[in-house]
A = this chain, B = another copy of it.
Amino acid sequence: MNSFGNKFKFTSFGESHGKGLGCIVDGVPAGITIDESFIQEEMDRRKPGQNIYATSRKEADKVEFLSGVFEGKTTGTPIAMVIFNENQKSRDYTNVKDLFRPGHADFTYFEKYGIRDYRGGGRSSARETSARVAAGAIAKLLLKELNIEVLSGICEIDGIKSSNTNFNFAKTSEIYALDENKEEFQKEAIIKAKKEHNSVGGVAFVKVKNAPVGLGEPIYQRLDAQIASAMMGINAVKAVEIGDGIEASSKKGDENNDQMRAEGFKTNHSGGILGGISTGADIDVKVYFKPTPSIFIKQETIDINKNEVDCELKGRHDPCVAIRGSIVAESMLALVIADMVLLNMSSKIENIKKVYN
């Protein structure tokens, strides 16, 4: 249950403060050039400790390839990547060892498994998402061969919404803001929350450009269903929206339908997906992150013996998980698209003949 994908599939492992974490990416077609520096750049976009808007925990997040690449190319065999943990502060966990931090998975993991690695959240730590970014980078290299691009940015922080969508600006923004005019206010909101030992929520916007028509396997591996699963499965995500999703639910049919002309759809309210299958238009997804549960304000909770206790956290945390989360969302979207690209190949007998004849 630590695997994602059907044909382009990855399985992740690792805990926040264990020896290391990583993943095996299986089903990667042979013959793709693996640009290790590109993969490291992707890792660097998510890695912690880069500025004041993120946790101060420093991790190089250096990816080591153990298999699957030979003379710079994929061989069709599984690609194993490991990221060794470096900055495992051998600190004292006495204050969190036995209690359940509010908003965290401490309680649920303990109840489910009867045991948990309490160091930094163990397996439930967002640190696991570094493996998703590594796998996502491989997916992107596949998509690049087909000229498919995946982009992301932050469209809302602490209720401050973007008015425009500038992915180029997002690339250079410390908080991956999509709107250069809102970035400053969004940054201020984060810093204010941080000073108050609190945290803020946010929303990421993720887009696929140039996806072919036909991706998505109805009825239950629909493209939208797979995207929803991928996004909702990211730590702290509590809602997912395709195209005009939420707004669409209060619109009329004639306002929401995307009419067509010879050159394509006149609008894209559907977010590039109809009947669970890509339309060829941009695939647009919004991902809603809750505020980081790790705050430094006293909270009420219980311990593993069901005693009521106060929880006073210390340590290093992101004041807004949506920021680095947007990179994870982008990676997961790349993984979904890569998987659907492979699955869709056998939709018609004529495609099969193209490969075998």
Contacts and interface: CB of A to CB of B under 8 A. Distances in A.
Interface string A44-66: 00000000000000000000111
A102 B123 CA distance: 45
Q: Which of A145, A214, A219, A221 has the most CB of B within 10 A?
A: A219
Contacts of A136: none
A227 to B, nearest CB: 7
Contacts of A198: 252-254
Contacts of A174: none
Contact of A240 (B7, B232, B322): B232
Interface residues of A, number: 160
Contacts of A112: 30, 76, 213-214, 216, 277, 344, 347-348
Contacts of A73: 115
Contacts of A345: 345-346, 351-352, 355
B123 A18 contact: no
Nearest to A239: B245
A246 B271 CA distance: 18
A104 B349 contact: no
A66 B240 CA distance: 33
Contacts of A180: none
Contacts of A109: 76, 218, 275, 277
